[in-house]
């Protein structure tokens, strides 16, 4: 059974710092991996999608990497800003149904 873990559960950094969020999964036979952002009381916003054949994806200050063999993905945020404060969720799909299995998220606080 696929399990997704995100460590740490919470992270607080000063503005301007570069940071890395971690996601690990137990079954390397994935279709894709998606990173989301969630603000309090809101829905999820898709940040990046990495297909199983890809190693990384970039969007602005965000870069996500995927290492299927080790069951790991990282989300790199460059030059963090207070507006980046949110919960970041990692989810994997390991079948052609599109079903996502989620980690519990990392809550990020960027202090001005």
Partner 1 sequence: DGGITQSPKYLFRKEGQNVTLSCEQNLNHDAMYWYRQDPGQGLRLIYYSQIVNDFQKGDIAEGYSVSREKKESFPLTVTSAQKNPTAFYLCASTMTSASSYNEQFFGPGTRLTVL
Residues near partner 1 (CB under 8 A) are: 31-32, 34, 36, 41-46, 49, 51, 89, 91, 93, 96-100, 102-105
Shortest approach of partner 1 to residue 13 CB, angstroms?
22
Closest distance of CB 49 from partner 1, Å: 5
Nearer to partner 1, 66 or 80 (CB): 66
Q: Which is nearer to partner 1, 23 or 77 (CB)?
A: 23
- Encoded tokens for 46: 């898709």
| Ramachandran angles phi, psi of 5, nearest 5° | -125, 135
Q: Judging by beta carbons within 10 Å of its beta carbon (0-12, 13-18, 19+), is residue 25 exposed, middle or buried? A: buried
Residue 79 backbone dihedrals phi, psi, to 5 degrees: 45, 65
Nearer to partner 1, 37 or 80 (CB): 37
The minimum distance between CB 27 and partner 1, in angstroms, equals 15
Q: Which is nearer to partner 1, 65 or 93 (CB)?
A: 93
Residues 94, 2 contacting (CB under 8 angstroms):
yes
Using CA atoms, how far apart are residues 107 and 53, in angstroms rounded to an integer?
A: 28
């Amino acid at each position: 059974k696929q399990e997704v873990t995100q460590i740490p559960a919470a992270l607080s950094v000063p503005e301007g710092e570069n940071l890395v969020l971690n996601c690990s999964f137990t079954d390397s036979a994935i279709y894709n991996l998606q990173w989301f952002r969630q603000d309090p009381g809101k829905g999820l916003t898709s940040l990046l999608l990495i297909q199983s054949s890809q190693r990384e994806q970039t969007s602005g200050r965000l870069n996500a990497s995927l290492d299927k063999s080790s069951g790991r993905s990282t989300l790199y945020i460059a030059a963090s800003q207070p507006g980046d404060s949110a919960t970041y969720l990692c989810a994997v799909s390991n079948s052609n149904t599109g079903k996502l299995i989620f980690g519990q998220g990392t809550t990020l606080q960027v202090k001005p």
